[in-house]
Amino acid sequence: MAYDDPLDDAELRWLRLAEARPDLGAAVDMQRVLVTRGMELMAEVPRITGETSAAPADLLERLARQRAPVLDLAVDIDVDRLLPFLLGFCDDFIAGGAGDPARRVRAVIEKGEIEPESLLRASLARRQEAIRQRANHVGVAPDLVWLVAELAVGPVAHQLQHDALVSVSSAPPEVRSALRAWSRGECPACGSWPALAEVRGGARYARCSFCGADWEPRADACVYCTESGTAFLTAAAGEAQTGRHIEFCRACGGYLKQIGLPAATPFAILPVLDLETSDLDVLAAGRGYARPPMRPVAEPDAPCPEESRQSAP
Ligand SMILES: [Zn+2]
Ligand SMILES: [Zn+2]
């Protein structure tokens, strides 16, 4: 069934999930608050990004080389418009049970001990280590800082990704077709590992939960390490007709959830699909499999520093 407002669809699914899995009640309540704020943020994103594009001049070459990220997501954004959402997500965690650790994160951002603009830019560029170091330096929970920043910039990344790679009105046809040829496991736009795979019309698509990208990695191979031999296998999770599978890779120890769906899940409610299928994560963890950590971000090819170019004779 199609919904005009993804929140209507999400609400039904939360109710169903909380009823079927009372143990997930608190997680559902927290997610409802975060997704609702995320939707409000999405409405504001065009004013936050303005006319900015994340497409670099050599976008087609980057796509052809299959080297992620193909976009430069750490663009200039209107931080003043985004900051209330960043603090709002902190408030959601304070109210939702993360209490003091979340209160401390909010305080260091407000006092500028973690400077909001550099935090948001570092998150857009997926520089997890830099954010972790800064959080440790000022004595707040690194995972929480990473999470609130990700929630605040995810909708921005999604808009930039969509405009640069997908939108018929702003992405050139040759870019859109190069994206269809992207066969690697990592997200072309931002370089993250996929959160899960959707099986639609017999094909398997990877979905990035940070920027919402949707691509078709090489079939029958591990998205993380490209193993395609007997060490890589896809197993049904539960009844075959539910369309739920888990890909296991003994070569790298990674797993990926595979969910059969009639259509692509809208970006805003990808977290709902992830929570609905969290029993598969538990199952995979119980067998000793894990999702690999974030890929270290390849620093973009260093351009000539401004100064040296200017001082060149
Ligand atoms: Zn992505
Ligand atoms: Zn693997």
Instruction: Give residue-wise pLDDT tens across range 219-261.
Output: 999 999 999 999 999 999 987 678 999 999 999 999 999 999 9
Rounded distance from Cα 275 to ligand 2 centre (Å): 23
Rounded distance from Cα 278 to ligand 2 centre (Å): 20
Contacts by residues 131-139 (CB-CB < 8 Å, ≥ 24 positions apart): 138/108, 138/113, 138/114, 139/104
Answer yes or no: is pLDDT of 305 > 60.
no
| Predicted structure pTM score | 0.91
pLDDT for 294: 82
Rounded distance from Cα 308 to ligand 2 centre (Å): 43
User: Considering its fold, how many domains does the chain have in total?
Assistant: 1
- Name the percent of the chain lying above pLDDT 70: 93
pLDDT for 3: 57
Q: Are strands 196-200 and 255-260 parallel, antiparallel or unpaired?
A: parallel
Query: How many angstroms separate the CA atoms of 52 and 293, rounded?
Result: 30
User: From the CA of 295, which ligand is nearest?
Assistant: 1
Rounded distance from Cα 126 to ligand 1 centre (Å): 9
Instruction: Specify whether the CB–CB gap between 250 and 236 falls below 8 A.
Output: no
Residue 297 forms part of a structural domain? no
Rounded distance from Cα 253 to ligand 2 centre (Å): 6
Rounded distance from Cα 222 to ligand 2 centre (Å): 5
Instruction: Specify whether the CB–CB gap between 53 and 164 falls below 8 A.
Output: yes
Answer yes or no: is pLDDT of 214 > 60.
yes
Nearest-Å Rg of the Cα atoms of the chain is: 20
Residues with C-beta atoms within 5 A of ion ligand 1: 187, 189-190, 192, 208, 210-211, 213
User: From the CA of 233, which ligand is nearest?
Assistant: 2
Alpha helices in 228-277 (DSSP H): 270-276
In this prediction, residues 48-55 reach a mean pLDDT of: 94
Residue 116 forms part of a structural domain? yes
Answer yes or no: is pLDDT of 24 > 80.
yes
Residue 310 forms part of a structural domain? no
Residue 192 forms part of a structural domain? yes
Residue closest to 188 by CA, chosen among 219, 172, 164: 164
Rounded distance from Cα 215 to ligand 2 centre (Å): 18
DSSP tag of 297: P
3-class DSSP assignment, residue 196: strand
3-class DSSP assignment, residue 214: strand
Residue 71 forms part of a structural domain? yes
In this prediction, residues 82-104 reach a mean pLDDT of: 95
What residues make up the domain containing 230?
Answer: 6-286
pLDDT for 299: 52
Residue 63 forms part of a structural domain? yes
3-class DSSP assignment, residue 115: coil
Rounded distance from Cα 185 to ligand 2 centre (Å): 10
* CATH label of the domain that carries residue 231: 3.90.1670.10
Query: How many angstroms separate the CA atoms of 300 and 72, rounded?
Result: 9
What's CA 198's distance to the chain center, in Å? 15
Residue 222 forms part of a structural domain? yes
Q: What is the mean pLDDT of the chain?
A: 92
Residue 1 forms part of a structural domain? no
Task: Check whether the bond before 69 is cis (ω within 30° of 0).
Answer: yes
Structure tokens given for 52: 């900015």
Answer yes or no: is pLDDT of 112 > 80.
yes
Residue 67 C-beta-side C-alpha neighbours within 13 Å: 12
